[in-house]
């Protein structure tokens, strides 16, 4: 089993957190039960190779590698200010 929050933490630890406390990246997986793919949603400029290098540098296995990077204008947030993962999941099915 892959921990999506662990991937996010590894990326934030290695690539840096926004100084203003905003959310500028999030990780979600496709709905495929057999072969889910990890998708990185990013406001900042980051490519797949750079993201995966950060994940490997954090000590996570190759199972944690990002398959796709989707650049977005903003990460959807809940009223609490936390990432709206359901909205991200919906964008993967559209």
pLDDT score at 53 = 96
Per the structure, the count of domains in the chain is: 1
Three-state SS at 54: helix
The reply to whether the predicted model has a pTM over 0.95 is no
* CATH classification at residue 74: 3.30.300.30
Note down pLDDT in tens along the chain; length 94 residues.
688 999 999 999 999 888 888 899 999 999 887 888 999 999 999 999 999 999 999 999 988 999 999 999 999 999 998 999 999 999 998 7
8 A C-beta contact, residue 88 and residue 72: no
Determine the structural domain holding residue 50 and report its residue range: 4-93
pLDDT score at 4 = 93
Within its chain, how far is the Cα of 8 from the centroid? 5
pLDDT score at 36 = 87
Q: CB pairs under 8 A, 24+ apart, for 27-35?
A: 27/66, 28/4, 28/85, 28/88, 28/89, 28/92, 29/2, 29/4, 30/92, 31/89, 31/92, 31/93
pLDDT score at 41 = 97
């Amino acid at each position: 089993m892959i921990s999506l929050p662990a991937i996010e933490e590894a990326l934030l630890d290695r690539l840096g957190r926004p100084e203003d406390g905003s959310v500028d990246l999030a990780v979600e997986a496709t709905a495929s039960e057999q072969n889910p793919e990890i998708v990185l949603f990013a406001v900042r400029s980051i490519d797949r190779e750079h993201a995966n290098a950060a994940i490997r540098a954090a000590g996570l296995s190759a199972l944690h590698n990002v398959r796709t990077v989707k650049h977005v204008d903003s990460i959807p947030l809940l009223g609490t200010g936390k990432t709206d993962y359901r909205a991200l999941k919906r964008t993967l099915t559209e």
